[in-house]
Structure 1
Amino acid sequence: MTDLIELALGDDSAVVSTTGAALLNYTVGDRPVVIQMSAFDGAVLAPWPNRVADGRYDCNGRSHQLPITEASRGTAALHGLMEETRWAVTERDGASVRLRTELTDSPGYPFTLSLEVAYSLIEREDEEESASRGELLVQASARNFGQEPAPFGFGFHPWIHPGADRVDQAQLHVPADTWVETDARLIPQAIRHFDTGSFIPADHEPNEASCLLCKDFRALRALGPAVLNDAFGTPQRGGDGWSRVRLRGADDRTVIIGMDENFRAWRICTGDELDQGHRRRAIAIEPMTCPPTAFATGSGSGSGSGSGHDAIGPRGKLSAEWAIALR
């Protein structure tokens, strides 16, 4: 049985599900920020986010085969193992909830981990306005209780409301220096670096599948008809170590999604493959501790573009935080 947990603080409210520990809704006043789209709504993506190509990877000298779960393409294990998992509530008050679950010897993933996720509505001082502003803080951790290193990645899948009926009217800023080019299966083929000072000429003919210029949102610009289902690496960070994506809606309100230094990649999806009732009605802005198919590229951050997963040693722990706010 799924329980829906309602949180509230001032004008902010949120709904969290005990199934998948998913963030289903986040609202500020009467303005929706996170909404449901019938596609991994607010899901915790673990022990890997996005795709593992053909479901195969090697770890600790052995080969493993994950179930193929992306039926539409049939060639990848998608978004981890937690979407239908029942999580237990371990702490709760009116503005926050902490959930916990165990991941034990799953098919293709013979490791034992304890996962925790906490959602907290908080007030944070806004230095520019000298006032407190609300936001939703998400704290996640994974602890390895096994005897071997465990490959692991965290991701989260909130669908962000664009302040209008469609995402086309919104403006997007993704502060990242690389784009992960993929094949038709959305399996990474190359990491491409954006050119310093690049811009899109007025007469540019877009090719959404492979055009580097079309993927460059390092400066805030209109989404228009852009089709995105892409990962971005080497995130630019502020002095606090956080990277922040901004989505300015047609209503001139800006949603800010920030991730700490333990998250190493962004995934942005405009929902073009969803059914007609949901297509391009929201944009998924997904913080990830590793990029797509990271299990196949080994542990560590690779060349700085976030090309590998984390390996959590025996009794080791990985912690990460992200947050979302409306301004």
Structure 2
Amino acid sequence: MLESVPTATGRTIPLEAHGARAEIGTVAAVLRSLTVAGVAVTEPVSADAPPPLGCGIVLVPWANRVRDARWTLDGVEQRLDITEPARANAIHGLLRNTEYTVLDRSEEAVTLGALIPPQHGWPFLLDTRVRYELRPDGLTVTHGVVNHGDRRAPWAVGAHPYLRVGDTPIEDLVLTAHAGTWFEADERKNPVGEHPVDGTGNDLRAGVRVGDLDLDTAFGDVVPREGVAARLTAPDGATVDLIQDDRWGHLQVFTPRNFPRPDGVGLAVAIEPMSAPPDALNSGRGLHWLSPGESTERTWGIRYTPAR
């Protein structure tokens, strides 16, 4: 049942079925934890503080950044609120601090919804939802949206899970990502070019040890193999997969060394599904333009496979 006392991550919704367990917070529809057969496959988020470094939150109606918090719609400049003051950008959409409403709930699944009303730099009315559903090997996440406004509206979506494989040290995991391009960024983390990964340190297709990576990098041309966009592999062969279909097309890999845990800060790895690249409101790439009354969905997931 829903906790009666709200916390920094909203009210906690526990899910448990098929040997898997998750906790969802209603603020930012945050994925607070996920375990499969008792094995932690995401970094846990405390209920008592905002998710560190965006851990587990939903990113909508855009993922990543909007340069200078400005974009142009039908020849008219739109000015969003600056939500990344250090870099003067708008970051990770408009629902990062919003309380979602529980629309549907069972032991194994929950659907949360939140309205994105017209506001600074955003003259649209979108109704969004996200559904978390446990599976025996992990979790399926479905994002949906309906345009309730009277004009076409752009939409993109992402999520910010930090993945792990149980207690295996993060630096010893091998990351494989099936991406063909990477986005060069300036000092404010805004894209300035897209390049093939071939022959570069950003080619993760054959697998690279996470301890050897220092990334806050967007990738494009993501073509999943049998649904797997990216994989973490432990030395014993256990894996955690990021599942995407071809409609996503992009992901972000972030390997901060300052991720906070109860025993101190350390290395973590975020592997973030994105339906559009950074600064998509300006480039137009990957945006889904919704006509009035139109709806659409995107689905991704996390899958754990134990060592054989």
TM-score (normalizing by structure 2): 0.88
Unaligned runs of at least 5 residues, structure 1: 124-133, 199-212, 299-306
Q: Which residue of 1 aligns with 2:57?
A: 43
Whether the 8 Å contact between 1:164 and 1:251 is mirrored in structure 2 is no
How far apart are residue 136 of structure 1 and its match? 0.4
Q: Which residue of 2 aligns with 1:19?
A: 27
Which structure 2 residues correspond to residues 1-327 of structure 1 after superposition, within 5 A? 1=6, 2-35=10-43, 36=45, 38-71=52-85, 73-123=86-136, 134-164=137-167, 166-195=169-198, 198=199, 213-238=200-225, 242-272=227-257, 274=259, 277-280=264-267, 282-298=268-284, 307-327=285-305
Whether the 8 Å contact between 2:21 and 2:34 is mirrored in structure 1 is yes
Whether the 8 Å contact between 2:59 and 2:159 is mirrored in structure 1 is yes
Q: Which residue of 1 aligns with 2:48?
A: none
> How many residues are paired up?
289
How far apart are residue 157 of structure 1 and its match? 0.5
Secondary structure class of the residue paired with 1:34: coil
Whether the 8 Å contact between 2:254 and 2:270 is mirrored in structure 1 is yes
Using the alignment, how far apart are the partners of 1:60 and 1:178 within structure 2? 30
Q: 1:81 to 1:251 in 2, by over 3 A?
A: farther
Deviation track 1:208-259 (CA, whole Å, cap 9, x = no partner) reads xxxxx211101123223310110110012346xx452101134532100111
How far apart are residue 75 of structure 1 and its match? 1.9
Using the alignment, how far apart are the partners of 1:41 and 1:224 within structure 2? 19
How far apart are residue 152 of structure 1 and its match? 1.4
Whether the 8 Å contact between 1:167 and 1:270 is mirrored in structure 2 is no
Deviation track 1:81-133 (CA, whole Å, cap 9, x = no partner) reads 1111111111111010011111111222121000011000124xxxxxxxxxx
Using the alignment, how far apart are the partners of 2:114 and 2:11 within structure 1? 15
Using the alignment, how far apart are the partners of 1:116 and 1:275 within structure 2? 29
Identity of aligned residues (%): 31
How far apart are residue 137 of structure 1 and its match? 0.4
Q: 1:220 to 1:122 in 2, by over 3 A?
A: same
Secondary structure class of the residue paired with 2:189: coil
TM-score (normalizing by structure 1): 0.83
**Aligned letter for 2:40?**
P
Unaligned runs of at least 5 residues, structure 2: 1-5, 46-50
Using the alignment, how far apart are the partners of 2:165 and 2:191 within structure 1? 28
Secondary structure class of the residue paired with 2:201: helix
The 10-residue stretch of structure 1 (162-171 or 45-54) with the greater mean CA deviation from structure 2: 162-171
Whether the 8 Å contact between 2:22 and 2:35 is mirrored in structure 1 is yes
Whether the 8 Å contact between 1:163 and 1:250 is mirrored in structure 2 is no
